[in-house]
Chain A
């Protein structure tokens, strides 16, 4: 009897402790972003800021060009999400609902592409980008992310569960494939497209290695690149501004995550990929 009462307590204690540890960095960034430079020098170990009304760090951040980086990040993410929505629903429809020789091969390539680590191929990707004159452009940053295998995979898996009869009936009525795709298939794809949007936004907003390689001037830096370059060039001097930058980078994804958590988790468990 006592064991059954103690065990839930232990479980809660463990989960509260782990949750608290996981959230400490988020607390520290919020506290730190409101500290003045003087506070960092005077007492670098203090947790709380003197005042939560000090917005100097954010002002300085935007004076240092972070507004432009923010805009670049938004443009790249919008391009990536829209391209993935369109291309993955077209490809997913073809792979799940149309009969043609080579469907298995194409799907096999999509699956294998999910396994290729960016670290292993970013150099030849850069060579391709050089040939296509995409170096130091926003399109160049977005291009390799415009078709994510994971997006094709999610749509294809979801589309397989849509009954064949709906499309067959439309075909017998003489509807064109494009019309079937647009008027019958797409409207049924809602939940899959929500997952695709969330996953591809997360991926492009957080993308680091590729933008680091291909963005070569302030005109094309995305937020993470701008922040990492700023952080490495003034190591200890401007903690407050760097932490304010971290808040700006984190906030959109965190808000989206809290609102649409269901789709994030679905995306992960559907594919086992980040």
Chain B
């Protein structure tokens, strides 16, 4: 580990004895200060992550929960079973659909709103920003209760749609409309995050660069395309990784709004993993988590490579 900190520490031998003692004392203090953090992170993040990786290679079931050492090694059996499971395959495809539709929509709408907020409207900017961001902090259980009521077949949204002459869809009863409803709920919850991050990125774009581009005769669309977007690259990378990972892990929205139905049309990978846990099929649940973790890692790494700055 060639890091700055240990290099700063290395010439300690040539320091006067008192100072050397103090540096040793400093290290001891540091470890004491870090102890609660390290213990809690070990117990609830590091050890579980290691167990998750190990257990998916075993035959663990519900009765082994209180005695985890009684399980047997099962190799890749759980993976083979999980990958061959049609419900799992369906959940994988559903998740892919959520990602492919939800991610681009969240990013594009978030960016458009951030650009709109960044055009000289000073006085009303905080009002709009608050209104668009507030769903992000809303509790998802409460939100789902409201959405379930609002999207009921005879509910207030359909009442309003009928009023303006649009045929009322069976939001939560028809498989395709249920997928649409889940995606709408995720958009409602995530657009604010994308918007706030893009707005921070836009406000970091230097004024003089834009003025120079304007003097060179670039129109507003040209300036956005050739100056703003390239400068926003790091923000775009961060937002797209963040939003993609959120959609890949999507759980609460389908669990609470549609329960994964109708006919499994909205069951996501995470929801499938949770259901397996509920059925006591721990090994299958773990193998599913393993696949999900691997996919999340793969997608994040790919996005970093694709979107990292060009030299």
Contact = CB atoms under 8 A, between A and B. Distances in A.
Interface of A: 7-8, 11-12, 14-16, 18-20, 22-26, 28-29, 32, 44-47, 86-88, 90-91, 93-95, 98-106, 109-110, 113, 115-117, 119-128, 130, 132, 143-144, 146-147, 149, 152, 171, 177-178, 181, 202, 205-206, 208-209, 213, 223-225, 227-228, 231-232, 236, 239, 242-243, 245-247, 249-250, 253-254, 257-258, 261, 264-265, 268-269, 272-274
A157 B157 CA distance: 45
A120 to B, nearest CB: 4
Contact of A93 (B27, B33, B116): B33
B164 interface: no
B147 to A, nearest CB: 6
A88 B137 contact: no
Contact of B30 (A12, A94, A225): A94
Contacts, number: 299
B274 interface: yes
B229 interface: no
B70 interface: no
B288 to A, nearest CB: 9
Nearest to B141: A224
Contact of B154 (A22, A44, A146, A213): A44
B138 A253 contact: yes
Interface stretch (B99-107, B175-183, B205-213, B249-257): B249-257
B52 A123 contact: yes
Contacts of B134: 22-23, 26, 254, 257
16 contacts: A11-B116, A18-B132, A22-B192, A24-B150, A90-B36, A98-B26, A120-B293, A128-B44, A128-B48, A130-B65, A144-B45, A147-B40, A223-B139, A228-B141, A243-B149, A274-B193
B60 to A, nearest CB: 9
A99 B23 CA distance: 7
Interface size class, chain B: 35 or more
Contacts of B26: 98-100, 177
A45 B245 contact: no
Contact of B196 (A105, A143, A265): A265
B135 A25 contact: yes
Nearest to B6: A101
A111 to B, nearest CB: 12
Contacts of B41: 109-110, 113, 147, 149
B193 A268 contact: yes
A122 B23 CA distance: 40
